[in-house]
Structure 1
Amino acid sequence: MEEVRQPRNVAILIFDNVEVLDFTGPFEVFITGSNRGKDFKVYTVAEHDRPIIALGNLSINPTYTIYNCPTPDILIIPGGWGSRKEMQNEVITKWIREVSNDVELLLSVCTGALILAKANLLDGLQLTTNRLAIDELNEAAPETAEIIENARYIDNGKIILSAGVSAGIDMSLYVVSKLFGEERAKHTAKLMEYDWKV
């Protein structure tokens, strides 16, 4: 008899001044691609138990804090203007570093790459970020890393990084295809009415 696998926990970090589509795009992909909740349990996580004010003054209540969230199988670090503050937040970078030891996949969208750089997780990897933040990533990234400017997303195995904003949707669809096959990802994109280029 086939073993029933628990849904993978997909944790999406949110913080003040996070770019809205950086986290809602992947959220939508993993919810839509979850096979009605059987394959992914998606939730937001923040440092504090209070509303997060995203760009544009969108207020979001995080589902969990970093202190009480279920153990993530997939952790997504979005970007936005707030990433410049969070990359200096040692509580957050330490938490990401610790959680990264046990996750199956660690994903970043846009300038979430800056936070991963400050968490010391990008040695020897190929990196990308929002085209407008390439210089910032050059400053933050280790010398052993290689920055690829024109990639939509880059798969380093456990760590996958995407370019800015809507590129997080493409990366997330790619991850769905990596875990469950291209047909699942194409079906997810179709349900979202999203023009995904495989």
Structure 2
Amino acid sequence: MRIAISVACMMLNVGVICAQNNKRIQVACVISKNTTEIDYVGPQAVFQTWHFDSTENRHMKRFNIFTVSETREVVDGRVADFTFEDSPVPDIVIIPAQRGSLTLTEWLKKVYPEVDYLMSVCTGAKHLAKTGLLDGKTATTHHGAVERFKKEFPSVNWIENVRFTRVSDKIYTSGGLTSGIDLALHILEIYFGRGQAQIVADHLEYQGNGWKYPEK
């Protein structure tokens, strides 16, 4: 797994904690027609929270978030920061529920080898399924879409009643809506440890524990 922003990493029981050298982790949120707001606003709140840097003795941003779409035209009141053609290579890609397009599918396949994580929220999982990256794997989505997805993407083992699934080292899928917050906190924990993730959860006054116990 590529952690481009690392200058030093050490393995702990909670995952990989990386010294950031003031370099931010790049987070791309893909948007298109009918994007569900909570699917990316929730994770965005997690990644936007500032962290106290003991070396600098001040709070600092650890993530830089931007939106990516097929066009720079206004879609549902939103204008993307970048298109799929000119977007910088992200470290994390958030895939909310949305209409999507073939261009989105192809972009996900293109950036997959270079990212740290692809994370879908709610029915955004269908866009990962369309890439073939979920074939033969276990994934989740909004509980109301599980049966439909089983028919539409039979090569994927769709499950429900979990907050999120670890599909592979680089791919995660979460359930509907607020499940994306749990997945974002889990991703944050991988980068910086459970203590930092808990600080962010407390700052957001988020009392859910699904990010700690995704199988429940």
User: So what's the TM-score if we normalise by structure 1?
Assistant: 0.87
Q: Could you tell me which amino acid in structure 2 is paired with residue 166 of structure 1?
A: T
Distance, in Å, in 1 between the alignment partners of 2:184 and 2:74 is 25
Distance, in Å, in 1 between the alignment partners of 2:205 and 2:93 is 25
Instruction: Please tell me whether the aligned partners of residues 7 and 37 of structure 1 are also in contact (alpha carbons under 8 angstroms).
Output: no
- 1:85-100 to structure 2, matched below 5 A, reads 86=100, 89-100=101-112
CA RMSD of aligned residues (A): 1.9
Give 1:34 deviation, angstroms: 5.8
Instruction: Please tell me whether the aligned partners of residues 14 and 23 of structure 1 are also in contact (alpha carbons under 8 angstroms).
Output: no
5+ residue gaps, structure 1: 54-58
> How many equivalent residue pairs?
186
- 1:72-151 to structure 2, matched below 5 A, reads 72-79=90-97, 82-83=98-99, 86=100, 89-143=101-155, 145-151=156-162
The question of 1:178 aligning with 2:201 is answered no
SS across alignment from 2:177? coil
5+ residue gaps, structure 2: 1-6, 9-18, 53-58
Distance, in Å, in 2 between the alignment partners of 1:154 and 1:78 is 15
- 1:150-189 to structure 2, matched below 5 A, reads 150-156=161-167, 157-189=169-201
Which residue of 25, 32, 40 corresponds with 1:15? 32
Name the larger-Rg structure: 2
Q: Could you tell me which amino acid in structure 1 is paired with residue 66 of structure 2?
A: Y
Q: Could you tell me which amino acid in structure 1 is paired with residue 23 of structure 2?
A: Q
Following superposition, which runs of at least 4 residues in structure 1 exceed 3 angstroms of deviation? Answer: 33-38
Give 1:93 deviation, angstroms: 0.6
Per-residue CA distance 1:103-144 (angstroms, 9 max, x = gap): 11010000111111111111222100000110222123252x
User: So what's the TM-score if we normalise by structure 2?
Assistant: 0.80
